[in-house]
Chains A and B, each alone.
Chain A
């Protein structure tokens, strides 16, 4: 039973990560491999607030949203001028920068050991200590963020994001302020990732830099790609597939170290297979951009 609850909570967190990345990589159409960095920023913010004082649940969630969102804005403002592939390198750079900070800025982040002893915050006396209680919290937050993403994707703003994805120049010629849209979408997506990080920190009670690497970013990206870029349901589905299916490896009796590597192998192959045979993902709304006509 506890295992089931555990998986559900992990799934909620990854669904939040996937839907938020989908806002950037799917609806806006710009690939980022820095999502784990914002996940980390939220997690570390929460960890520090909870271990250095007894911040309330609300305070912790809000602060994680703010730090991750502001960091997202800080990255987006200079980076949006770059063409998409160079933007990707920019996100890679940011991701590694944050990883390095987490690993090396020992007085603040605890270095390689990380931060432990993170207990969940409380709100009006209720503290989600038990797994069932935490699941309630996670579900509530997931519903809230998914609703926000859904609302945004189906609004005129979302329409503009999609148009920008297809033809940025044309959208600008129709009066759309490209920079503003990109920054806003990016910041919101990063803020949600930070929120997910906050939940993660409070749930697993300890965080280390190894949980927030480039590979983690690629993992989240794979969920979006596999499920279908541009589709909110697709992101949810992709998260479900990539979290649940490898869990079944556990039941095949592999020792944990090997299972971890096998999982990575599966992800890698799934991504390659997806790109080869179904680039639009399982239920995605489009394959890939206008560049497809190029060669």
Chain B
């Protein structure tokens, strides 16, 4: 059991990145972007191509993969989202993102097929024993990386000028623009940062587990849940929530069977939504009344 809980930490860390990326975007763009899983998945696939077709070293390939993901995000922002966000309501944006997800996943499917690949050479990874629990070096890497990323992100959010501008935009885009914040540039920054988070999460995930096309959706789902339950405002809150959530899920999975993890998550989400009063979720909330 302790092993299960400790193993849940790296997975929770990855979910934390995804949740943060989602929350980061959602606070400024105000719609659920269902095409984000593609950014998560495309980074390790690109890295895989770099390793096996181009022959780059692992580290460089990973960076290349991250770059590909970011480029895709920037491209989509410039070609599509920037203009669409100005004139379309959240529903249209959501549907567009669904269409994008379907189309892009189809392209990836055609390009890569459905077989499972790995980024690292197969075979057991060197493990370290920490108080009767075994962790692989990859898992340690994940936890360290994510901790570093989250703390620097949190610091930037709370203590830098960019962070203040971001918070202003998250509060009200209109007001921010009117007060002279270069919103378009900052939106691009948000796009890039969230793409980075997703890409890094994807790569780390692929280092730990195997890689296949469907591996993007589940973390995205868990990430959204963590972001919703954790509340959007506090970055550390979301991170903490992700860890707790995943630990809880793994524990439940250990008892009930891992295939039930998603269901438990969702039932848990539904119960939370029902039992804990969260006025921002309910209709007739602040947006609706005069």
Interface residues of A (CB under 8 A from B): 31, 33, 78, 80-86, 88-90, 92-94, 96-97, 100-101, 103-104, 168-169, 214-215, 218, 221-222, 225, 258, 261-262, 264-265, 267-272, 274-276, 279, 288-289, 291-292, 294-295
Contact of B288 with A169 in the complex, beta carbons under 8 Å: yes
Contact of B98 with A88 in the complex, beta carbons under 8 Å: no
Task: Tell me the minimal C-beta distance from A254 to chain B in angstroms.
Answer: 11
Contact of B96 with A276 in the complex, beta carbons under 8 Å: yes
Dominant secondary structure of chain B at its interface with chain A:
helix
CB neighbours of B287 from chain A (8 A): 83
CB neighbours of A225 from chain B (8 A): 95
CB neighbours of B96 from chain A (8 A): 271-272, 275-276
Decide yes or no: A100 and B263 within 8 Å by CB, A83-B287, A294-B89 being known contacts: yes
Contact of B32 with A83 in the complex, beta carbons under 8 Å: no
Contact of A279 with B92 in the complex, beta carbons under 8 Å: yes
CB neighbours of A269 from chain B (8 A): 99, 103
**Residues 153-211 of B at the A interface (beta carbon under 8 Å):** 173
Q: Which of these binds chain A: B106-114, B131-139, B142-150, B243-251?
A: B106-114
Interface presence of B259 (CB below 8 A): yes
- Expressed in whole angstroms, the Cα–Cα distance for A262 and B107 within the complex equals 8
Contact of B107 with A265 in the complex, beta carbons under 8 Å: yes
Identify 6 residue pairs between A and B in the complex whose beta-carbon atoms are under 8 Å apart, listed by A's number: A82-B281, A89-B32, A271-B96, A276-B80, A288-B92, A289-B91
CB neighbours of B92 from chain A (8 A): 275, 279, 288
Contact of A268 with B106 in the complex, beta carbons under 8 Å: yes
Task: Tell me the minimal C-beta distance from B226 to chain A in angstroms.
Answer: 13
Contact of A97 with B266 in the complex, beta carbons under 8 Å: yes
Given A78-B270, A269-B103, A291-B91, 14 other A-B contacts at CB below 8 A? A31-B95, A82-B281, A84-B283, A86-B273, A92-B221, A100-B262, A104-B263, A225-B95, A267-B99, A268-B98, A268-B105, A271-B102, A272-B80, A295-B85
Task: Tell me the minimal C-beta distance from B87 to chain A in angstroms.
Answer: 7
| Interface size band for B | 35 or more
- Expressed in whole angstroms, the Cα–Cα distance for A97 and B261 within the complex equals 10
Task: Name the CB-closest residue of B to A218.
Answer: B98
Q: How many pairs of residues, A versus B, come closer than 8 Å at their CB atoms?
A: 143
Interface presence of B141 (CB below 8 A): no
Task: Tell me the minimal C-beta distance from A111 to chain B in angstroms.
Answer: 9
Contact of B88 with A292 in the complex, beta carbons under 8 Å: yes
- Expressed in whole angstroms, the Cα–Cα distance for A215 and B92 within the complex equals 18
CB neighbours of B100 from chain A (8 A): 268, 272
Task: Name the CB-closest residue of B to A77.
Answer: B274
CB neighbours of A272 from chain B (8 A): 80, 96, 99-100, 103
Contact of B102 with A267 in the complex, beta carbons under 8 Å: yes
Interface presence of B129 (CB below 8 A): no
Task: Tell me the minimal C-beta distance from A202 to chain B in angstroms.
Answer: 28
- Expressed in whole angstroms, the Cα–Cα distance for A82 and B277 within the complex equals 11
Interface presence of B53 (CB below 8 A): no
Q: Mark B250-290, 1 if CB is under 8 A from A, else 0.
A: 00000001011011001101100110000001111101110
Task: Name the CB-closest residue of B to A272.
Answer: B99
Contact of B106 with A265 in the complex, beta carbons under 8 Å: yes
Task: Name the CB-closest residue of B to A168.
Answer: B283
Task: Tell me the minimal C-beta distance from B90 to chain A in angstroms.
Answer: 6
Interface presence of B94 (CB below 8 A): yes
Decide yes or no: A288 and B88 within 8 Å by CB, A83-B282, A88-B32, A271-B95 being known contacts: yes
Task: Tell me the minimal C-beta distance from A185 to chain B in angstroms.
Answer: 15
- Expressed in whole angstroms, the Cα–Cα distance for A96 and B109 within the complex equals 21
- Expressed in whole angstroms, the Cα–Cα distance for A100 and B259 within the complex equals 8
Interface presence of B5 (CB below 8 A): no
Contact of A89 with B228 in the complex, beta carbons under 8 Å: yes
Contact of A275 with B281 in the complex, beta carbons under 8 Å: no
Contact of B98 with A288 in the complex, beta carbons under 8 Å: no
Task: Name the CB-closest residue of A to B95.
Answer: A275
Task: Name the CB-closest residue of A to B100.
Answer: A272
Contact of B110 with A90 in the complex, beta carbons under 8 Å: no
